[in-house]
Amino acid sequence: MSIKSPGLFIAFEGGDGAGKSTQAARLSDALESRGLSVLRTREPGGTPIGEKLRSLVLDHGHGTIDPRTEALMFAAARAAHAGQVIRPALADGTVVITDRYIDSSVAYQGAGRGLGAEGVLSLNEWATEGLHPDLTVLLDVDPSDGRQRRTAGDATEDRLESEPDDFHAAIRHAFLDLAAAAPSSYLVLPANAEVETLAARILERVESLIAASSVPAPLDGETVVGDHP
């Protein structure tokens, strides 16, 4: 947990095509424009070894990957991310915004691949030494909407995205179950709402968390007036 660190840890979660990256960027811009120190990052990735693991685990070119191997690869990338990037930033009073974290492994490997939530959670507790977000924003997406959104234009699907709709339906339910088990740590929003509406609701919740936290106030002269467009 980041309880004792002065930063704030926010994760965006949801199925593929939920619009997490757009909302993570909006939130990061809004907080930076208020003069706060913000780190925007993603999983798998966020470190050099994490980016290598990302391309190994997402590319179609490596043949079938055993589900436990897959879970361990995501957890290995996450261990580096949590230890080398997220914890030090939180200790410096930074607001860390990650696109995906432990819930993605519980949903995709636990539910989607059938490994079960319990084992995947305990693997990730160990990998991150128990580092959990202060808030998880779950953008809840219907699997067929998600597929339509991510294949718009000529975009191709990665190894996990190209799994059938029932795989993505299991993932959706796993995310919702995690949120229902700890409602005060989640903000669940419908991914098909207007981008502006979603951005405003997320910012409102994060600002109230910042007000109640020990995130350092912006230094004099650092505040930029107004949001980015």
- The CB-of-170 to ligand TYD minimum distance in angstroms stands at 12
67: tokens are 């589900």
User: Of the listed pieces 32-40, 97-105, 136-144, 181-189, which binds ligand TYD according to CB under 6 A?
Assistant: 97-105
User: Of the listed pieces 104-112, 129-137, 173-181, 208-216, which binds ligand TYD according to CB under 6 A?
Assistant: 104-112
Q: Does 32 bind ligand TYD (CB under 6 A)?
A: no
User: How far is the C-alpha of 115 from the C-alpha of 68, rounded, in Å?
Assistant: 8
Closest C-alpha to 96, from 143, 28, 161: 28
Sheet of 8-14: strand order equals 38-42, 95-99, 8-14, 135-140, 186-190
Contacts of ligand TYD in 33-92 (CB under 6 A) = 42-44, 58, 74
171: tokens are 């993932």
Select the residue whose beta carbon is closest to ligand TYD and give its number.
Answer: 108
Q: Does 19 bind ligand TYD (CB under 6 A)?
A: no
Angle at 138 between CA 146 and CA 175, to 5 degrees: 80
Q: How far lies 137's CA from each of 56, 153, 217, in Å?
A: 27, 27, 23
Q: Does 134 bind ligand TYD (CB under 6 A)?
A: no
Contacts of ligand TYD in 137-196 (CB under 6 A) = 158, 160-161
Which residues would be at the binding site for ligand TYD (CB under 6 A)? 16, 42-44, 58, 74, 100, 104-105, 108-109, 158, 160-161
